[in-house]
Amino acid sequence: MAKLKTFDFGITWSSPDDSFFARILKRKFRDLGISFLWMDDFNNKSFLRDLLKNKIRIKVLMDTEATYDNPEDIYAKISYAVKDSGGFVFNDPDITQLTIDKAYMYHRLVNAGITVPYTKMLRKWIPLNYNLTANTVRKLGVPFIIKPAHGYAQKGVIRNATGSSYQIRKARKAYMSDTFLLQQKIKPIYFDGKKAWFRILKVFDKLFPCWWDDVTNRYERLTLRDIKKYKLFPLLEITRKIADLTKMTWFSTEIAVINDGGSLEFFSIDPVNDQCDLTPKSEEPNGLPDKLVLTISDCVIRNVRKLLRM
């Protein structure tokens, strides 16, 4: 019988293994004597098979690929195999399955007192020929947002919905098994020419806030000076509250700010994106600042060492 092979750290990552973030982790873990396993689209089936046959064990897994609404997703199966064998997975697959559901999270945010856009739920059992009432359209405003509860990477999202029955029906037909959210479109203010739309990354116990444009998808690091100048501390408070609600190890969240009668109001737009894109600007114009990716990699390594008790 083959001897069980144990890896300290594993990562699921379908991108090339020479990417910036991957190179950093591989080099630093090697220097620390931490064994490293890379699982991608070419080898994931064989590694899943080895996990299930107890040929290999992974102590800590960083999942960047699992799609939990697909019962045949290999990366989701890998995450569960690692968890079931006693490994630590970030993010935990059972927690993730709940929190990626935007309909579920909407009610959790409301109950926690976090401000969210007005939302009309269309559950999957509601007939396709359902028509919005005039009062609902008034509350939503025109245009509004249409998005599936389990959508990601802006798939299935309609940004400028008019309220027509045909438009809503067409969107729902593309994702018949999902709940749809019809949501008020938030129009943020600007701070010195910068749109007050933010994406905050939470990695273990650290928060990394960024300016983020929801149209161009461009990032810029939000500094402590910015936070103080524009009175943006609620961004951090809301993110910590979402982290407490979800118990997610790493995720990103979107928050937009409006001016409501002279005071700032902070709206949670997309509360949990479970797999942060860690591509740097040097590889992709819409990526994270390179220095931020370096900082996040250090945070991951530090916490993996804690988990391994090194």
Residue of 119, 105, 212 lying closest to 161 (CA atoms)? 119
Q: How far is it, in rounded angstroms, from Cα 208 to Cα 201?
A: 5
Cβ 85 vs Cβ 48: under 8 Å? no
Residue 207 has pLDDT above 90, yes or no: yes
Residue 109, domain member (yes or no): no
pLDDT confidence bin for 166, thresholds 50/70/90: confident
| End-of-domain residue from the set 165, 184, 203 | 184
Q: How far is it, in rounded angstroms, from Cα 238 to Cα 195?
A: 19
Which segments of the chain does DSSP mark as H helices, in order?
20-32, 44-52, 74-84, 93-99, 102-111, 134-140, 165-173, 224-230, 233-246, 290-307
Q: What percent of the chain has pLDDT over 70?
A: 98
- Give yes or no: residues 243 and 256 share one domain: yes
- Give yes or no: residues 161 and 208 share one domain: no
- Give yes or no: residues 16 and 58 share one domain: yes
Q: What mean pLDDT comes out for the span 103-113?
A: 95
Residue 2 has pLDDT above 80, yes or no: no
- Name residue 177's amino acid: S
- Give yes or no: residues 215 and 262 share one domain: yes
> In whole numbers, what is the pLDDT of the chain averaged over residues?
93
| End-of-domain residue from the set 164, 184, 204 | 184
Residue 107, domain member (yes or no): no
Q: How far is it, in rounded angstroms, from Cα 145 to Cα 273?
A: 17
Q: What mean pLDDT comes out for the span 284-288?
A: 92
Residue 81, domain member (yes or no): yes
Identify the three-state secondary structure at position 291.
Answer: helix
Residue 158, domain member (yes or no): yes
Q: What mean pLDDT comes out for the span 19-24?
A: 87
Q: pLDDT tens digits, residue range 90-103?
A: 999 999 999 999 99
Tell me how many domains the chain contains: 3
At residue 16, the pLDDT reads 65
Residue 31, domain member (yes or no): yes
Residue 286, domain member (yes or no): no
Question: What is the span of the domain harbouring residue 152?
Answer: 118-184
Residue 152 has pLDDT above 80, yes or no: no
Residue 260 has pLDDT above 60, yes or no: yes
